[in-house]
Amino acid sequence: MAQAGLLERPRRGVTRITGRGRKALAGHPDRVDMKVLSRFAEYREFRARRRRPAESAGEADLSPADASPLELIPHLVAEAHAALADELVERLRGAPPEFLGRCVVKLLSRMGYGGPEGEVRRLGGPG
């Protein structure tokens, strides 16, 4: 729903419905499913963007009706990872440059850079 612009996530653990989401809910009070979401260009673009790597690997797009739950799991996990990655990039782009610097330092530290004590420091400023 966030990929269709119906929800926004202003910060961690907070999800807020948008004006577009309110309109979609008013038009479909019983259920907002993939059929409804596919009416939004942003959602169609997101789905197409995530299908390209699978298609290049020779995998066919599985429909829920044709596949077993076990066959769908890897595709659903990949889609969830893609949505998370897109959300992370969106948040990083909207944050100040200092925030990105702190994130990079934390990532490097958790990856093991800086020795066993984890002494990783950010030197300088943005830019």
The reported pTM is 0.47
- What are the Cα distances from residue 2, in Å, to 32, 101, 122? 12, 26, 33
Specify whether 106 is located in the same domain as 50. Answer: no
**Taking residues 88-117, what's their average pLDDT?**
83
Specify whether 87 is located in the same domain as 124. Answer: no
Quick: pLDDT tens for 29-51.
888 888 888 888 888 887 777 55
Domain that holds residue 83: 7-94
Write out the two tokens for 25.
Answer: 């809910």
Specify whether 84 is located in the same domain as 73. Answer: yes
In sign, the C-alpha dihedral spanning 36, 41, 42, 44 is positive
Is the confidence at residue 60, as pLDDT, over 60?
A: no
Residue 54 located in a structural domain = yes
Specify whether 75 is located in the same domain as 54. Answer: yes
Specify whether 88 is located in the same domain as 51. Answer: yes
Lowest model confidence (mean pLDDT) among 46-50, 61-65, 79-83: 61-65
Is the confidence at residue 55, as pLDDT, over 50?
A: no
Residue 50 located in a structural domain = yes
More confident residue, 127 or 76: 76
How many domains are contained in the chain? 2
Specify whether 51 is located in the same domain as 69. Answer: yes
Specify whether 104 is located in the same domain as 83. Answer: no
Dihedral pair phi/psi, residue 62, rounded to 5°: -85, 135
Residue 25 located in a structural domain = yes
